[in-house]
Amino acid sequence: MSEYPEFPGVEPYDAVRDVAAERAHRRRMCAIGYRIFGAMRWGQLGDGHISARDPELTDHFWLLDWGVPFRAATVDRLVLVGPDGSVKDEHGEPTGAVNTAGFNIHAPLLAARPDVVSAAHTHTQFGTPWSANVEPFRAISQESCAFVFDQAIFDDEEVEVLSSDGGRRIAESLGDHKLCLLRNHGMLTVGRTVESAVGWFVMAERVAEVHVKAPDGRAISDEAAKVAASTLSPDDVGWRVFQWLQRDLVPDPSVVD
């Protein structure tokens, strides 16, 4: 029985699983995350990636095989990426490929943040234009309060991220935050679950839309924003956002199995 009446049958945010079950769960959530992005018409140009750290080989992570449309993501189309960039299938056999920037961003970021299970990034209608302003989010909407005290800016002109050094600099800029605005590039979010990383990214895109459409919007006070942040910023909130998104955009999650 779910602890969350609004999400019947869903295991709790902090569910404890054995290694095999945790790997299966992370991979499934990763595939659903790609489907969510695809349903939002993101990644149509081959841009973007969602990672899922392997719970046993913790310096490895799962990404969608290169060339697979986000809307067609399934668990068996994910590949395991090693710290040297090698790509293997679920049986450990060399196969497939990954977006080069995906490896260059995710490998150093996950290495720098052992508390993070997943990172999400793609180019979006509002996150990318807002990032060109090289300005942080302000408390001009309810959802903004989830990020105003937990964000960073990667003020760097390497928009292609052609090397893992670029990813290392992104990780340094991100620090211990959950959102990084990548200058002239877009947004990147991280989470302690795959679900929260994806949920935070979609919420951040909504915040970016408000900022693009109301660039001179009047922010609420820091005191008021901190009150809102106390309930909006915990990691399980991103997890809850994912549950709503999955139910709405991927109503039959068995499509990824």
Q: Domain extents for the chain? A: 19-256
Q: Which of 176, 175, 52, 29 is nearest to 102 (CA)?
A: 52
pLDDT for 92? 79
Q: What pLDDT is attached to residue 2?
A: 53
For residues 133-147, average pLDDT: 98
Mean pLDDT of the chain: 95
* Residue whose entry in the numeric block shows the structure tokens 């970021």: 109
* Tokens coding 250: 């991927």
Asked whether the beta carbons of 70 and 38 are under 8 A apart, the reply is yes
* pLDDT given at position 1: 38
Residue 203 CA, distance from chain mean position: 10
Give just the sign of the alpha carbon dihedral 229, 232, 233, 234. Answer: positive
Burial 26-57 (b: 16+ CB within 10 A, else e): bbbbbbbbbbbbbebebbeeebbbbbbbbbee
CATH number of 19-256: 3.40.225.10
Range with the lowest mean pLDDT among 82-86, 143-147, 231-235? 82-86
pLDDT tier at 6, thresholds 50, 70, 90: confident
Question: What's the burial of 114, exposed, middle or buried (CB within 10 Å: 0-12/13-18/19+)?
Answer: exposed
Neighbours of 93 (CB within 10 A): 8
Lowest mean pLDDT among 79-83, 93-97, 103-107, 174-178: 93-97
pLDDT at 34 over 50: yes
Q: Note whether 187 and 181 are within 8 A (CB).
A: yes
Q: What is the pLDDT of residue 96?
A: 73
**Residue 37 predicted with pLDDT over 50:** yes
Categorize the per-residue pLDDT at 202 as very low, low, confident or very high, splitting at 50, 70 and 90.
very high
What's this model's pTM, rounded to 2 decimal places?
0.96
Euclidean distance between CA atoms 215 and 233, whole angstroms: 23
* pLDDT at res. 4: 80
Tokens encoding 81: 């990426």
pLDDT tens, residue by residue, 176-186: 999 999 999 99
| Half-sphere exposure of residue 106: CA atoms within 13 angstroms, side-chain side | 34
State which amino acid sits at residue 132: A
